[in-house]
Structure 1
Amino acid sequence: MKHFVRTVFVLCLLLASLPSCNKLGGGPSHGDESENPSYYYLNRFSRALMEVNYLWNEEISSTLTHWDLKADPYAQVHDARYHDAAGNEVDRWTQMIPDYEAFVNGLNGVSSGTYAVNMQLMYADETRSQIVAVVLYTYADGPARKAGLKRGDVIMKVNGATMTVENYSKVLSEALNGAPVALTLYDGRNVTLPAAVEMYENPVGQARVFDCGGRKAGYLFYSSFTLESYADLIEACRSFRQAGVTDLILDLRYNTGGYVLTEEMLASMIAPEASVRAGELLATEVYNSFVERYLERNGLDTRTFFRQDFEFTGSRGEKYSFSTADANIGCQRVFALVGEDTASASEALLCSLKPYMPVYLIGTKTHGKYCAGIVNASSEYFEEARKSGEFSAREAEEAMKHASKAGLYLMVSRYADKNGVTLSMPDGMTPDERLEENPLDGFQLGDPEETLLSRALAHCGYQAARRVKVQRAGAPRPRLEPVPDSRPKEGYMVKLGLPHE
């Protein structure tokens, strides 16, 4: 990350000095920061980065020219995001971040004050007046799993309160504040959710092998492309290789993305081994015209090639070094379980693999995030500005005092496969076989009779022994309908920097 911030600042200086790269408009004067110093410095930070590296910087050049240093920077960045000629929001992801450290922790899979459970809000009746929460999955060793919560559990009351359309947001925000929570479930059980904890939520939830009558299917449930998950991914793929897996069932239905490097690493273990060892082209990227010219002048390649040896520095300066040489699965086909939460790095992985092998999508349409972004820390920008002379010592001190915690998640590139095709653009990848997932089907993730997995296994030749669903005591499960837009629709595809030698 520090490498990238320095690169950004160098690009800012080049933008002002190179004859062929004029400033967009000329920009606002620095003015007086006394009215709201936080707004002032965060606006200087966000405009400088958007002017140089934003994928659509030319399309919003007029907005950047009239950037208001006194405006709310969070609202201003949101409103500046690129819209097409018809007014449709194209960029749905660039955003100011109030707490850079917490944001990066989340990308790394470390959550502070988490109950380690993923839920879906649903209407409990046809009148759409009562709201319930349905458990989708829990993380190993987290409070929710320790309390006995499982996929399909229906939460009717939270701390004794019934949730309605009018109050559910207030009920949940007041209850899920880190303290233990009393839950009343539809099946009559009363469950106490232990206090929230800070923990690493391991995204490698399951890895198991199914015998499919002469073929072997490996099932991998993966919920986020964190950097720290590399070891568990390598272990899972190595076990698939040793088991002779021919078909990979990759469950990305809840995977909203993560780090590009992790996506590249996983691709190296799924794609045909001969292509990986030969270092063939995995993906391409498109940047704005100024960045493209800068990279071309410096002989920097925007293409990504398969590799097996990885060595890089993480966002906090941590060193990573590992190899996937003995972990290529050797599979012949990929069946991907997808849905509206399948986004960014998940979509990029599937898009990049398709030219190399059959990739069959089962589920519903994916999110449709086709951009990669970089998370920029305001504190690092201010420090670089001081060193270069862009900020005086007093300005740098004031900036650090009032605006050093924030960050900017900025879209910088569009990805494509080796042929230049971006399958998730503009609004997601359409599944080959449309099938709604059903968390109330009575089976856990990884169970061969779970709705999406059973369909993938059928394609692999698996013959399931039909079982009677085990229903806990109480009335049958209700017919529920998801509450629209009640789950986050963010997608993350995070680069650690621009291409460099």
Structure 2
Amino acid sequence: MKKIFGILLCTLILSCSDKDDNAFLYPKETTVQNFMWQGLNQWYFWQADAPNLGDDRFTTNDEYVEYLETYPDPEEFFYQTCYNHSNIVGSGSAVDRFSFVEEDYKTLVNALEGVSKSNGMEFGLVRFEGSSDIFGYVRYIIPNSNAATKDIARGDIFTRVNGIKLTNDTYVNLLFGADSDTYTLGMADISGTVVTDNDKEVTLTKEEGLQENPILVAKTIERSGIKIGYLMYNGFTSGYNEQLNDVFGQFKSAGVTELVLDLRYNPGGSVNSSRLLASMVYGTNTDELFIRQRWNDKIQSLLKKDQLEDYFGDKTDQGSSINSLNLSKVYVLATANSASASELVMNGLAPYIDVIHIGETTRGKNEFSVTMVDDIDNDYIYRSDRENKIDPNNSWAMQPLMGRNENSAGFSDYTSGLDPDITLQEDVSNLGSLGDPNEPLLARAIQEITGESAKRDFSVKAPVQEVSNSKMFTVIKDNMYLDKPLSISFQ
């Protein structure tokens, strides 16, 4: 798979005073903290509101060094420096819920390309309302993974890991801890709201370099003489844009006139991939605005109109003509696990076509981020062709929120999520098979498309509250990263 050539490609022309004359000096032990403060001070969306990021925050070099040394742990330094971040204890209703750091920038870059250390089982952790008992359910299995070789599938239930019961106090360490590379699941049966342990056990091992193709299911379904395209798309991974375009070519060849876009487990990813997907759904008029970016005041004033706006596309990154269905309506399956670039597609399409949202309220991630590393000469922005320019003594990366994307109507205020037109929660006791016309969420979309009379009971027999899921402890959770060329002069 081709590499991402820069999460954000920047050509930066810096005056000497920006880099040298007014620069603070700092001890070697605070190299990471200095990189983080300098990058956040320049690029962070809420820089003007963050008390410790003000341009006049430090009047002397000693004050600056004292602040860098206040938090020896780089991760703690990052979250304390960000504005009202959710990772800060006692932050309450935090403004910044999504900025994060990663100790090894290569791990972050690989994850954004869909490469990770994983056993291939994607799952949710839930509890019944009013209960403190936690159990897991399998959402899907990534092909060619360790889990794909085991007797485990969508809909399976587990209550124990290595013989220890899943609880609020145990699940993080058991499933995501340092010693969780290999674990044994204790399986269970479910009937309505009753979960009963059984004797089955499944042992899974996380393996390096697992490549997840975000296109899990793509098929054409014919119902009542209508050809319906169904696409389950689980991540906006730019290396798969050509395959995504091929899927839409197949839909066109099959005569598809309606589309069900399944984003129920899609946490987001590439902004450009979202633009291309929207073009495949709606159209390729390059004069029509898809989204517009809003940066902090420092950056916004330096960007020209054409740098701030992204239009629908007629070509992929590799120059292939986009296969567009030219639809006036799309049916989107989305839940609280649908975030960032998933929401961006829905919001960007809304001024142009009817977006029929079936499922639950989405995550509410309306900001984009950029990968930052200790490459001062590129103003801390990561580029794959500049890895030899990154400080070899500092492998930390940060993924701070840098702005918001608004649609052509100027709307971007969905921090509470996008509400569904048709509310339907997944039933963990009756998940069904993804892509099967009888799977509840897909079946509800087909019913809406065909207008067939309601013969099916869609009530949820086992309503649950989500505690966590397999993606929440990975670097790709709720992520929307900007990946387009950008030229800025700070002179």
- Give the alignment's TM-score, normalised by structure 1: 0.79
For residue 125 of structure 1, report the CA deviation from its aligned partner.
Answer: 9.5
Aligned counterparts of 1:441 and 1:244: Cα–Cα separation in 2: 31
For residue 155 of structure 1, report the CA deviation from its aligned partner.
Answer: 1.2
Unaligned runs of 5+ in 1: 18-22, 312-320, 386-395, 469-476
Q: Deviations over 1:39-88 (max 9, x none)?
A: x111211111111111122222654425522123322221232349x974
Contact in 1 for aligned 2:340/2:478 (Cα 8 Å): yes
- Look up the match of 2:88: none
Aligned counterparts of 1:141 and 1:416: Cα–Cα separation in 2: 38
Q: Give the number of the structure whose residues are more often helix, by fraction.
A: 1
- Look up the match of 1:203: 214
Name the aligned partner's letter for residue 43 of structure 1: Q
- Look up the match of 1:261: 272
- Equivalent residues in 2 for 1:290-369, closer than 5 Å: 290-296=298-304, 301-311=307-317, 321-325=318-322, 327-369=323-365
Query: Would you say 1:145 and 2:148 are equivalent positions?
Result: yes
- Look up the match of 2:61: none
- Look up the match of 2:415: 426
Contact in 2 for aligned 1:15/1:52 (Cα 8 Å): no
- Equivalent residues in 2 for 1:54-93, closer than 5 Å: 54-60=44-50, 62-64=52-54, 65-66=57-58, 68-70=67-69, 71=71, 72-83=73-84, 88-93=93-98
Bigger shift: 452-461 or 477-486? 477-486
When residues 121 and 278 of structure 1 are mapped into structure 2, their CA distance, relative to the original with a 3 A threshold, is: closer
Contact in 2 for aligned 1:160/1:184 (Cα 8 Å): no
Aligned counterparts of 1:131 and 1:341: Cα–Cα separation in 2: 18
1:381 to 356, 376, 380: 376
Q: Deviations over 1:436-478 (max 9, x none)?
A: 122321511212222211111101117699999xxxxxxxx99
Greater RCO structure (CA 8 Å; 6+ sep): 2
2:297 to 289, 296, 315: 289
- Equivalent residues in 2 for 1:150-165, closer than 5 Å: 150-165=153-168
Q: Deviations over 1:207-231 (max 9, x none)?
A: 1112132322111101100012213
Query: Would you say 1:455 and 2:444 are equivalent positions?
Result: yes
1:400 to 391, 394, 411: 391
- Look up the match of 1:45: 35
SS in 2 for 1:375: coil
When residues 63 and 283 of structure 1 are mapped into structure 2, their CA distance, relative to the original with a 3 A threshold, is: closer
Aligned counterparts of 2:156 and 2:223: Cα–Cα separation in 1: 30
When residues 416 and 175 of structure 1 are mapped into structure 2, their CA distance, relative to the original with a 3 A threshold, is: closer
- Equivalent residues in 2 for 1:237-252, closer than 5 Å: 237-252=248-263
When residues 81 and 173 of structure 1 are mapped into structure 2, their CA distance, relative to the original with a 3 A threshold, is: closer
For residue 491 of structure 1, report the CA deviation from its aligned partner.
Answer: 1.1
Name the aligned partner's letter for residue 165 of structure 2: T
Contact in 2 for aligned 1:81/1:92 (Cα 8 Å): no
1:214 to 225, 228, 231: 225
Contact in 2 for aligned 1:245/1:331 (Cα 8 Å): no
For residue 430 of structure 1, report the CA deviation from its aligned partner.
Answer: 1.1
Aligned counterparts of 2:215 and 2:41: Cα–Cα separation in 1: 38
When residues 8 and 53 of structure 1 are mapped into structure 2, their CA distance, relative to the original with a 3 A threshold, is: farther
Q: Deviations over 1:323-350 (max 9, x none)?
A: 243x112333111111111111111111
Aligned counterparts of 1:366 and 1:125: Cα–Cα separation in 2: 20
- Equivalent residues in 2 for 1:417-496, closer than 5 Å: 417-422=407-412, 425-461=414-450, 479=462, 481-485=464-468, 488=472, 490-496=477-483
When residues 174 and 496 of structure 1 are mapped into structure 2, their CA distance, relative to the original with a 3 A threshold, is: closer
Q: Deviations over 1:135-185 (max 9, x none)?
A: 111112222232132211011333333334443334335697333635434
Bigger shift: 101-110 or 160-169? 160-169
**Aligned pairs, number:** 448
Bigger shift: 208-217 or 233-242? 208-217
Aligned counterparts of 2:144 and 2:453: Cα–Cα separation in 1: 30
When residues 4 and 448 of structure 1 are mapped into structure 2, their CA distance, relative to the original with a 3 A threshold, is: closer
Query: Would you say 1:94 and 2:64 are equivalent positions?
Result: no
SS in 2 for 1:329: coil
When residues 165 and 278 of structure 1 are mapped into structure 2, their CA distance, relative to the original with a 3 A threshold, is: closer
- Give the alignment's TM-score, normalised by structure 2: 0.81
Name the aligned partner's letter for residue 483 of structure 2: L
For residue 426 of structure 1, report the CA deviation from its aligned partner.
Answer: 2.4
When residues 4 and 141 of structure 1 are mapped into structure 2, their CA distance, relative to the original with a 3 A threshold, is: closer
SS in 1 for 2:316: strand
Aligned counterparts of 1:442 and 1:164: Cα–Cα separation in 2: 23
Unaligned runs of 5+ in 2: 59-63, 86-90, 191-197, 381-387
Aligned counterparts of 2:433 and 2:68: Cα–Cα separation in 1: 52
Q: CA RMSD in A?
A: 3.5
SS in 2 for 1:228: helix
Contact in 1 for aligned 2:12/2:487 (Cα 8 Å): no
SS in 2 for 1:202: coil
- Look up the match of 2:170: 167
For residue 190 of structure 1, report the CA deviation from its aligned partner.
Answer: 2.4
- Look up the match of 1:371: 367
- Look up the match of 2:123: 119
Q: Deviations over 1:302-332 (max 9, x none)?
A: 1111122233xxxxxxxxx14243x112333
Aligned-residue sequence identity (percent) comes to 24
- Look up the match of 1:110: 115
